[in-house]
Structure 1
Amino acid sequence: MASLLVLFVFFFFISSCSAQSYNVLSFGAKPDGKTDATKEFMAVWKTACASSRPVTIVVPKGRFLLRSLNFDGSKCKRKHITFRVDGTLVAPADYRVIGNEDYWILFQHLDGVTVYGYGGVLDAQGTSLWGCKTSGKNCPRGATTIGFQSSRNVVVSGLTSLNSQMFHFVINGCNNVKLQGVKVLAAGNSPNTDGIHIQSSSTVSIFSTKISTGDDCVSIGPGTNGLWIENVACGPGHGISIGSLGKDAVESGVQNVTVKTVTFTGTQNGARIKSWARPSSGFARNIRFQHCVMNNVDNPIIIDQNYCPRSENCPRQVSGIKISDVLFVDIHGTSATEVGVRLNCSPKKPCTGIRLKDVKLKYRNKPAASACVHAGGIEAGLFQPNCL
C-alpha cells in the first residue's frame, strides 16, 4: 500500500509540473484569414497567464486575421510561456487599423518566452502603407511587426516576417535573447523596414538568419551591450549598422559587438557605424566585423560621423560620439563604388584604435580605394594602404 501511495504522489507531481497546451482553435479562432481572431488570441493568453504550470500556446496551420496584440506578462503566475506558430498570422489589409500602433504583436514583462514555428509566418501586409509613404501622402508611421520589451530569456526560432509596415523585429530593454533561423522578407525599396533592431539590451545573439528588406538588415541602437551576429545573409538592404547614434545629447553607448561570417549582396552598406553630427555623450567601442563577404556593395566598410539627413538640426556641428577599438578583419569581395573603405570620423572625437586587417575589396576588377578622415589605427594586408 505504501509503494502505491508513493507511486501516486510521483505521478501527481509529474502531471502537475508538465506543460499545458492550449490551441487557439479551442477558443474559437477561425483559420480562414477573414474572421478577426484578436479576441480569441487574447482569451488564450489570459488563460495561459493564469496557469501556474508551463504553458504552450499552439497556433495550427491556417491563416489568422489579427489586430494589435499585447501579450503582457506582468500579472502572469508564470513568466515562462511558449508560442508555437505553425500557421500564418495576418494583419488587416487596411494599414490604418494598426498603422498608428507601436507594435502589431508585443511581448513584454516576461521571463522565459519562446516563440517558434518552422513554417510560421507573420504577414503584416505592409505594401499598401509603403505605397502611401512613397507617394508623399499623410500616412501613419506604421507598426513594428513583433517586439520584445522589458523581458529576459527570450528565444525566437524559425519564424518568417513578411512585408512589415515598419521594423520587423525589435528587441528593447531585454536580457539574454536568441534569434535563430529567422527570415525577413520585404522589397528592397520598402521604407523603414529594418529587419532586426536592438536597443537598451544585453547578451543578444542572432544566428543563421536571412534578411532581405528595404532598410538595415540589423540596426544596433544605444544601450546595446553584448551582441553576437553570426552566419547571416543580408540583401537587399542597408547592411548591418551600429546607429544612428548621437540623436540625443545624453545617450547610452554601444559596446561588445561581434559580426561574424556575414554575406552582403547588393546592399547599400556592409559594415557600418553612423552617428549624428551633433554633441552627444554616447560611444561605440569593442566592435568586431570578421569574415564578411561583400557582393557588389555600395559602401562595404563605412564609418560616418557626419550623418545629417536633410541637413536638419545638425548643420555646422560635429559628432560627440567616441568610436574606438573597432576591428575589420577578412573583409573581401566587390565594391559597387570606387571607394570600398570610407572612414569619415569626427574632428572633435576622432576614431581611435581602428584595425583593418586582410581587407581585400575590388572595384571593376581593380583594388578599391579608401578614404579616411580623422581616423587612427593599424592596417595590414590592404590593397590600398595609407588610409589610417
Structure 2
Amino acid sequence: MQISSGKTFKLQPLVFQGPCKSNAINFRLLGKISAPDKNEWAENKKEKWVTFKEVNNLIVYGSGIIEGSGPTWWKDVESERPTSLAFTSCDNLQLKSITSINSAKNHISISSCIGVTIFDVTLIAPDDSPNTDGINIAGSSQVNLFDSFIGTGDDCVAINGGCSGINITNVKCGPGHGLSVGSLGRNQVNEEVEHVYVKNCTFNGTQNGARIKTVPTSAVEVSNVKFIGFHGSAIKEKAIKLNCSEVKGCNGIVLEDINIIPAIEGKNLEVVCNNASGTVQHTTPPVSCLVAKP
C-alpha cells in the first residue's frame, strides 16, 4: 500500500487485520494522513486510529507525515483519546523514516510483538500535550530502537510489563518525561521487565532521564539495574530518585560515572533514596545510601 507524495488523506479509524499470505507487507507513506478531529470521533469510541493486527513481516516506511489532530483533544484530558499507530501481534516489524506529529495520545504503541526494529523516526508534540508518549511498548520482546528523535508531552519511550530484550541507542529525547520503565504493579499484578539497555542517548529539557516506576504499595522487585554514564543537567531539584517499594525494595542498584548539574545556576540538587541498596562510584550529586566503591 502506498500514500502518494503531495497528497493528504483524512482517514477514519481503520484496522489492517492479518494473518497475511505474503512474506512481506509494505506500507509506504510518502504523502500525509490526517486523523479526524475530536468532534468527528464522537460516535466512534475507538481507542486507536490506525491499527495493524497479526500482520507479520510488515514494513512501514517513507518520508510522509502522520498528523494526529491532537490539539482538538488535549484540553479534554479525561476523554478516550486515540493512539495514532498501533501494532498488535506483528512479528518481525520494521518502522523506518516516518514522522508523526500531534498525536492525540500515544504516537506509536507496540503490543505483543516479537522482533521489532524502529529507526530514523521523528515523533513530535508540544511539551504541554497530555499523555502523548512517543513509543509505548507492552508484552513485547527483541525491540530495537535507534537513531531517532522523540520530543513529546510525556514519556519518549514507555516500557511496560512483559517486555524483554529492549535496546535503545542514539535516541534524542526532549521535551517530555524521559525514558520510563513502568508503572509496574498496578492492581497487584505480577509483571516482569528484563534486559533493557539504553546507550548513547541524549535527554534535553526532559523532566527525567531514565526511570523505573512502580506502584508504592505493590510487591514489585527491582534488582540488578545499572545506570552508567549519565551526564547532563536537571530542571527538578530531585536529580536522582530511588524511591523503592517498602515490600521488596530495590537491590543490586549500580550508579557509575554520573554527573548531573542544576539547569539553573545556583540551584541545589537533591537525592531521594528509600529502600534501595547497591553501589555508587564517581557520581554527582553524591548518593549516600549506597555503598561507595573506590
Please indicate, yes or no, whether the TM-score normalized by the shorter chain is above 0.5.
yes
Provide the C-alpha distance between the structure 2 equivalents of 1:163 and 1:170, rounded to a whole number of angstroms.
Answer: 15
The partner residue of 2:271 within 366, 370, 385 is: 370
Provide the C-alpha distance between the structure 2 equivalents of 1:232 and 1:59, rounded to a whole number of angstroms.
Answer: 27
Taking structure 1 as the reference length, the TM-score comes to: 0.70
Aligned residue for 2:226? 327
1:247-266 equivalence runs, <5 A: 247-266=186-205
Aligned residue for 1:65? 10
Cα deviations by residue, 1:274-297 (Å, 9 ceiling, x for unpaired): 1112xxxxxxxxxxxxxxxxxxxx
Contact 2:186 2:218 in 1 (8 A): no
Contact 2:47 2:83 in 1 (8 A): yes
The partner residue of 1:271 within 190, 210, 215 is: 210
Aligned residue for 1:380? 281
Which amino acid in structure 2 is aligned with residue 87 of structure 1?
G
How far off is 1:387 after superposition? 3.0
How far off is 1:79 after superposition? 5.1
The partner residue of 2:97 within 133, 137, 158 is: 158
Higher percent of residues as helix: 1
Contact 2:188 2:218 in 1 (8 A): no
Aligned residue for 2:41? 97
Aligned residue for 1:337? 236
Contact 1:96 1:140 in 2 (8 A): no
Aligned residue for 2:115? 176
Contact 2:214 2:245 in 1 (8 A): no
Task: Give the secondary-structure state (helix, strand or coil) at the position aligned to 1:352.
Answer: strand
Segment of structure 1 superposing worse, 189-198 or 365-374: 365-374
How far off is 1:95 after superposition? 4.5
Provide the C-alpha distance between the structure 1 equivalents of 2:275 and 2:2, rounded to a whole number of angstroms.
Answer: 55
Taking a change above 3 Å as real, the CA distance of residues 85 and 335 of structure 1, as seen in their structure-2 partners, is same
Q: Which has the larger radius of gyration?
A: 1
Aligned residue for 2:81? 142
Which amino acid in structure 2 is aligned with residue 66 of structure 1?
L
Cα deviations by residue, 1:316-336 (Å, 9 ceiling, x for unpaired): xx2310000010111112122
Contact 1:100 1:140 in 2 (8 A): no
Provide the C-alpha distance between the structure 2 equivalents of 1:175 and 1:234, rounded to a whole number of angstroms.
Answer: 24
Task: Give the secondary-structure state (helix, strand or coil) at the position aligned to 2:288.
Answer: coil
Aligned residue for 1:353? 252
Does residue 78 (structure 1) correspond to residue 22 (structure 2)? The answer is yes
Cα deviations by residue, 1:149-187 (Å, 9 ceiling, x for unpaired): 011000000111111111110000000001101111111
Taking a change above 3 Å as real, the CA distance of residues 160 and 365 of structure 1, as seen in their structure-2 partners, is same
Which amino acid in structure 1 is aligned with residue 260 of structure 2?
L
Provide the C-alpha distance between the structure 1 equivalents of 2:35 and 2:221, rounded to a whole number of angstroms.
Answer: 41
**Alignment size in residue pairs:** 285
The partner residue of 1:192 within 120, 124, 131 is: 131
**Percentage identity across paired residues of the two chains:** 39
Provide the C-alpha distance between the structure 1 equivalents of 2:23 and 2:158, rounded to a whole number of angstroms.
Answer: 28
Which amino acid in structure 1 is aligned with residue 247 of structure 2?
K
Taking a change above 3 Å as real, the CA distance of residues 95 and 213 of structure 1, as seen in their structure-2 partners, is farther
Which amino acid in structure 2 is aligned with residue 249 of structure 1?
Q
Larger relative CO (CA 8 A, sep 6+): 1 or 2? 2
Which amino acid in structure 1 is aligned with residue 271 of structure 2?
S
How far off is 1:339 after superposition? 3.0
Does residue 111 (structure 1) correspond to residue 56 (structure 2)? The answer is yes
How far off is 1:385 after superposition? 4.1
Contact 2:180 2:212 in 1 (8 A): yes
Provide the C-alpha distance between the structure 2 equivalents of 1:94 and 1:351, rounded to a whole number of angstroms.
Answer: 42
Provide the C-alpha distance between the structure 1 equivalents of 2:37 and 2:276, rounded to a whole number of angstroms.
Answer: 49
The partner residue of 2:75 within 101, 123, 131 is: 131
Task: Give the secondary-structure state (helix, strand or coil) at the position aligned to 2:73.
Answer: helix
Contact 1:221 1:254 in 2 (8 A): yes
